[in-house]
Chains A and B, each alone.
Chain A
């Protein structure tokens, strides 16, 4: 015996320290070239995605981990930043066919895009596995379909307990996860209103986590309703305050989807030239999210907010 104590191993918890940054600072600090990037869909981190596209001289190649994306991934794919996407769904919702995605997969424009298909629950369980420190999760979806035939990373085994077939999906632990939520304090406790899909799982699965929020609030306000905390501080690396940070899509109980804008964007995305012109105007033509909002028009954005507030308010039944 040498009478040396067992060394202390440090946990992965991010410190309860000040984490507020600008989008530019956060993307510059955490997103590197070759990054495996996770993105939430509800709410969609539009402000962070736009900033990522603005830094394309530095970030040239990404692989994406999503469950479903409804429109927002187009900005990255159309800009030629994505070589691979692991997904269940990538399309417009009500906006319809995603021509940016189709051009990339079918014709390699602006660059070839490899697709790894799963089901939605399959994708979510990949993040869930990583969120619990596991290497895979069993899922009773995908069985009998061509998803498992064409994706060698999904294994079908006989369940060792029942002997019945079950599909296993590999854990997905993105290098960086980006997401948009309702509010957070300065040390990174994040709260959501309404539905939030798999945002909680993405934050737990990702090595670095950037969360954009509508509002920054005090720790006392977070403590007032702790069951709204979807992501505790120890998962979070950066908090970015971006009001309207999910436009043209919704931010629950703040504003609804700007359908007129989304449909118009999709109309322009029909051609590569149309997409480039749109991105030049709305992304490269603006230096940050505030400028984007000015270009869209704060009057319009405020009307989206007032309109949502008229129809529903968090904490009230109408």
Chain B
């Protein structure tokens, strides 16, 4: 049994929790950022035959540097396929993709997500990025793995806007709307891990991150969250998982405040790639992944 890390951060705990949701042999849609961390450690540990799909047209890349966006040059590294977005989106609509990682600014109890606006769409307070591929992934992937912040205001009774359909308003709603995919399966947040009930399609609390109290979780959710009778503490990342994440992201761009360090500092940026590529090459060789 792998050794648990004694020293790890919240982003590392979340990435490890998402990694555990990926099964060996699966084909999953992975966004860059934290899901990429999760995908990388899954491949290093329990899922060496899992392959990732990246939204702007890459299948099976094995990056040793941090991808910076869904169309990043790094996503070409060791890929089986590079080409078009409609290849990967089409494959997903046709049912080939097992799971997809998505996120949002707001979530409701059925796992519907908002990444479009805060306030009414036509009288908005804050305009956000928009769907991107999140709507497509949540529509057609067989299951979605949600990864998001839980900040006390964003687990809401009613979303300002449904960008990415979850289980809509309950059992049977997705089928009625004509959606092909299975919808949300799990949500990993900054406070815990939630799963969706097969009967009611509602979210329930399954795991709490170490140090988080149930009353704090309840207070941060607008509805009365169902709690699993088998509520447990989230399993920490292993030593190896933490080591791999820190090797891939030496400046903590995704794992911490690396962006602030990098803005305007070209030398630090060039060094960041050097500091991840060669150590990752060694790690992958040792694991037989290269």
CB-defined contacts of A259 to chain B, threshold 8 Å: 68, 262, 269
CB-defined contacts of A117 to chain B, threshold 8 Å: 116, 130-131
Pairwise interchain contact B127-A257, C-beta atoms closer than 8 A: no
Is B58 in the interface zone, CB < 8 Å from A?
A: yes
Pairwise interchain contact A119-B72, C-beta atoms closer than 8 A: no
CB distance from A278 to the nearest CB of B (A): 12
CB-defined contacts of B273 to chain A, threshold 8 Å: 256, 307, 311
Cα–Cα, bound, A252→B61 (Å): 14
Is B225 in the interface zone, CB < 8 Å from A?
A: no
Is A120 in the interface zone, CB < 8 Å from B?
A: yes
Pairwise interchain contact A195-B164, C-beta atoms closer than 8 A: no
CB contact under 8 A between A311 and B136, given known A105-B127, A260-B268: no
Pairwise interchain contact A144-B174, C-beta atoms closer than 8 A: yes
Is A226 in the interface zone, CB < 8 Å from B?
A: no
CB distance from B185 to the nearest CB of A (A): 17
CB-defined contacts of A198 to chain B, threshold 8 Å: 84-86
Residues 108 to 129 of chain A near chain B (Cβ within 8 Å): 115, 117-122, 124-125, 128
Known contacts A165-B178, A252-B73; 18 additional CB pairs below 8 A are A91-B132, A119-B131, A119-B136, A121-B136, A142-B135, A143-B139, A146-B116, A146-B121, A147-B135, A164-B178, A196-B82, A250-B71, A251-B73, A255-B73, A263-B264, A267-B264, A303-B270, A317-B78
Q: Which of B55, B56, B57, B73 gathers the greatest number of chain A CB atoms within 10 Å?
A: B73
Is B161 in the interface zone, CB < 8 Å from A?
A: yes
Q: Once A and B bind, how many residue pairs between them come within 8 Å at the CB atom?
A: 230
Contact of B93 among A91, A141, A255 (CB under 8 A): A141
Is B168 in the interface zone, CB < 8 Å from A?
A: yes
Is B243 in the interface zone, CB < 8 Å from A?
A: no
Residues 67 to 123 of chain A near chain B (Cβ within 8 Å): 67-68, 70, 87-91, 93-96, 98, 101-102, 105-106, 115, 117-122
Is B65 in the interface zone, CB < 8 Å from A?
A: yes
Minimal Cβ-Cβ distance residue in B for A296: B266
Is A271 in the interface zone, CB < 8 Å from B?
A: no
Contact of A253 among B76, B84, B140 (CB under 8 A): B76
Is A197 in the interface zone, CB < 8 Å from B?
A: yes
CB-defined contacts of B266 to chain A, threshold 8 Å: 258, 260-261, 300
CB-defined contacts of A120 to chain B, threshold 8 Å: 55, 85, 89, 131-133, 135-136
Pairwise interchain contact B85-A263, C-beta atoms closer than 8 A: no
Pairwise interchain contact B270-A195, C-beta atoms closer than 8 A: no
CB contact under 8 A between A260 and B269, given known A89-B130, A94-B33, A196-B83: yes
Residues 22 to 49 of chain B near chain A (Cβ within 8 Å): 32-33
Number of interface residues of B (CB under 8 A): 72
CB distance from A163 to the nearest CB of B (A): 10
Contact of A195 among B56, B139, B140 (CB under 8 A): B56
Cα–Cα, bound, A18→B273 (Å): 41
Please report A residues at the B interface, Cβ cutoff 8 Å. 41-43, 67-68, 70, 87-91, 93-96, 98, 101-102, 105-106, 115, 117-122, 124-125, 128, 139-147, 150, 156, 164-166, 193-198, 200-201, 249-253, 255-261, 263-264, 266-267, 300, 303, 307-308, 311-312, 317-318
CB contact under 8 A between A194 and B268, given known A90-B130, A141-B136, A256-B73: no
CB distance from B165 to the nearest CB of A (A): 4
CB-defined contacts of A70 to chain B, threshold 8 Å: 69, 71
Q: Which of B86, B180, B253 gathers the greatest number of chain A CB atoms within 10 Å?
A: B86
Is B1 in the interface zone, CB < 8 Å from A?
A: no
Pairwise interchain contact B262-A260, C-beta atoms closer than 8 A: yes
Cα–Cα, bound, A121→B165 (Å): 15
Pairwise interchain contact A121-B89, C-beta atoms closer than 8 A: yes
Cα–Cα, bound, A303→B270 (Å): 9
Minimal Cβ-Cβ distance residue in B for A139: B93
Pairwise interchain contact A119-B82, C-beta atoms closer than 8 A: no
Minimal Cβ-Cβ distance residue in A for B128: A91
Pairwise interchain contact B85-A197, C-beta atoms closer than 8 A: yes
Pairwise interchain contact B74-A263, C-beta atoms closer than 8 A: no
CB-defined contacts of B140 to chain A, threshold 8 Å: 140-141
Is B7 in the interface zone, CB < 8 Å from A?
A: no
Cα–Cα, bound, A263→B33 (Å): 15
Is B275 in the interface zone, CB < 8 Å from A?
A: no
CB distance from B107 to the nearest CB of A (A): 14
CB distance from A46 to the nearest CB of B (A): 14
CB-defined contacts of B2 to chain A, threshold 8 Å: none
Is B277 in the interface zone, CB < 8 Å from A?
A: yes
Minimal Cβ-Cβ distance residue in B for A42: B71
Cα–Cα, bound, A142→B179 (Å): 9
Pairwise interchain contact A105-B124, C-beta atoms closer than 8 A: yes
Minimal Cβ-Cβ distance residue in A for B173: A144
Cα–Cα, bound, A264→B264 (Å): 5
Pairwise interchain contact A267-B263, C-beta atoms closer than 8 A: yes
CB-defined contacts of B199 to chain A, threshold 8 Å: none
Pairwise interchain contact B73-A250, C-beta atoms closer than 8 A: yes
Is B241 in the interface zone, CB < 8 Å from A?
A: no
Cα–Cα, bound, A68→B33 (Å): 17
Pairwise interchain contact B129-A89, C-beta atoms closer than 8 A: yes
Minimal Cβ-Cβ distance residue in A for B114: A146
Residue-wise interface mask of B (79-98) relative to A, using a CB-CB cutoff of 8 A (1 in contact, 0 not): 10011111001000100000
Is B259 in the interface zone, CB < 8 Å from A?
A: yes
Contact of B127 among A101, A193, A267, A317 (CB under 8 A): A101
Contact of A143 among B89, B177, B268 (CB under 8 A): B177
